[in-house]
């Protein structure tokens, strides 16, 4: 397809029941190399905390590892949950990453805590935790990050004197900064500030069209961005045939089912273990509804689904979260089904 959208990758660094954290990281680095070789535009990692099946706890550390292991793909956060962190710390981290890998770093910023309230409290050593105040100050925090990474820094008034604050001593470029969201809040804020925006279609699956339309309709040009810029994310499992792709999607579907219904979470099951799980009819209905919003199928069918998604929402880039699970006996440091998903989608 000549008008096939540009592809990117979202990685939560999943941890299977047979993997250590080190194994999961090794599998992610191998997956990133595949994305790099196959011409994917971006490789973003998430921020989640205290989850038994997700090793993406610290995006800046992961970005440094992945950027160092690849050559071309842009590497970024999808995203840094800003209420968890002091804006200066985020600005410093990403200014250093941009200095080390100029022109290859994206800073995607989110407003959600990405964890439970207790873990959110612990992230700040109990200093207020992720409170409603921190979330309400999100627009201010975004402005702070933007200003601190500028080469000229930002003037901070303390005791009647202005002190210049810079994220790094001599910046020659800044990361590309995106706002992320799964509601209309970040769409409005991104439009107001003239920033690029990404809707978490892979997680929400509803409200995508409304959020993107709101963003485009209310966008105000900025010095950094003259026109709205956006793409969307989607979960994907692609295999040699549709039946195998559906089998491989089962472990992640069961994980999402547990998350949506408040059930205990554990490491990701193998495909064979997932096939043995018996679900009540309401659970099956929910699983089928979720799967209906994913890209699942053989190569030709899956690429057609991606093209339809891009056309439906008017985007020229689609970021896929490769969710294909592993079979029993898979080498712990590898994720061959996820790698195959990327290769088949790339065509």
| pLDDT mean over 142-147 | 91
pLDDT at 1 (0 to 100): 43
Q: CB-based burial of residue 329 (10 Å sphere; 0-12 exposed, 13-18 middle, 19+ buried)?
A: exposed
Q: What is the largest CA-CA distance in the chain?
A: 68
What's the chain's Rg over C-alpha atoms? 20
Tokens of 329: 């006996």
Residue carrying structure tokens 């929910």: 286
pLDDT digits (tens, 9 = 90+) for 75-121: 999 999 998 888 999 999 999 999 999 999 999 999 987 677 778 77
Is pLDDT at 159 greater than 90 in this prediction? no
Mean pLDDT over all residues of the chain?
Answer: 92
Token pair 């045939």 is at which residue? Answer: 241
Q: Which residues of 274-310 are buried (b: 16+ CB within 10 A; e: fewer)?
A: beeeeeeeebeebbeebbebbbbbbbeebbebbeebb
What CATH class is the domain 6-243+295-346? alpha beta
Quote the tokens at residue 196.
Answer: 């690029």
Query: For the chain, what's the residue count?
Result: 347
pLDDT at 219: 98
The DSSP secondary-structure symbol of 182 reads: S
Q: Between the CA of residue 335 and those of 27, 30, 237, 300, 342, what are the distances in Å?
A: 6, 8, 12, 22, 11
Tens-place pLDDT, residues 244-278? 999 999 999 999 999 889 898 999 999 999 999 99
> How much is the pLDDT for 130?
52
Task: Give the mean model confidence (pLDDT) for residues 53-70.
Answer: 97
* Phi, psi of 175, deg, nearest 5: -65, 160
Mean pLDDT, rounded, for 204-225: 91
Cα-based angle 145, 150, 7 (whole degrees, multiple of 5): 70
Roughly how many angstroms between the first and final C-alpha of the chain, as a whole number? 10
Contacts for 270 with CB less than 8 Å, ≥ 6 apart: 16, 17, 18, 251, 325, 326, 327, 328, 330
pLDDT number for residue 205: 64
Q: Residue 153 has what pLDDT?
A: 83
- Reading the block at residue 281, the tokens are 């009819």
What are the tens digits of pLDDT across the range 272-288? 999 999 999 999 999 99
Q: What is the pLDDT of residue 207?
A: 86
pLDDT of 160 reads: 84
Contact 30, 335 (CB under 8 A): yes
């Amino acid at each position: 397809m000549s008008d096939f959208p540009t592809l990117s990758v979202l990685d939560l660094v999943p941890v299977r029941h047979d993997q250590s954290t080190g194994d999961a990281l090794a599998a992610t680095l191998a997956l990133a190399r595949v994305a790099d070789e196959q011409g994917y535009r971006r490789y973003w990692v998430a921020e989640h905390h205290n989850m038994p099946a997700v090793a993406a706890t610290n995006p800046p550390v992961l970005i440094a590892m992945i950027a160092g292991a690849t050559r071309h793909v842009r590497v970024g956060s999808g995203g840094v949950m800003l209420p968890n962190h002091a804006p200066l710390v985020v600005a410093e981290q990403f200014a250093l990453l941009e200095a080390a890998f100029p022109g290859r770093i994206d800073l995607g910023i989110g407003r959600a805590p990405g964890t439970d309230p207790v873990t959110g409290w612990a992230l700040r050593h109990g200093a207020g935790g992720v409170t409603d105040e921190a979330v309400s100050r999100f627009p201010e925090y975004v402005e702070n990050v933007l200003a601190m990474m500028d080469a000229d820094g930002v003037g901070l008034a303390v005791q009647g004197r202005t002190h210049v604050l810079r994220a790094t001593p001599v910046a020659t470029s800044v990361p590309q900064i995106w706002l992320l969201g799964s509601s209309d809040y970040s769409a409005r804020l991104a439009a107001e500030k003239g920033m690029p925006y990404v809707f978490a279609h892979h997680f929400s699956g509803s409200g995508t069209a409304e959020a993107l339309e709101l963003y485009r309709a209310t966008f105000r040009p900025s010095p950094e961005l003259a026109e709205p810029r956006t793409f969307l994310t989607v979960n994907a499992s692609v295999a040699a045939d549709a039946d195998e792709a559906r089998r491989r999607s089962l472990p992640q579907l069961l994980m999402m089912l547990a998350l949506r219904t408040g059930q205990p979470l554990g490491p990701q099951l193998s495909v064979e273990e997932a096939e043995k799980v018996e679900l009540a009819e309401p659970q099956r209905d929910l699983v089928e509804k979720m799967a209906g919003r994913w890209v699942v199928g053989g190569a030709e069918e899956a690429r057609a689904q991606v093209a339809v998604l891009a056309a439906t929402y008017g985007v020229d880039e689609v970021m896929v979260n490769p969710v294909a699970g592993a079979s029993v006996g898979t080498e712990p440091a590898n994720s061959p089904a996820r790698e195959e998903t990327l290769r088949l989608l790339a065509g």
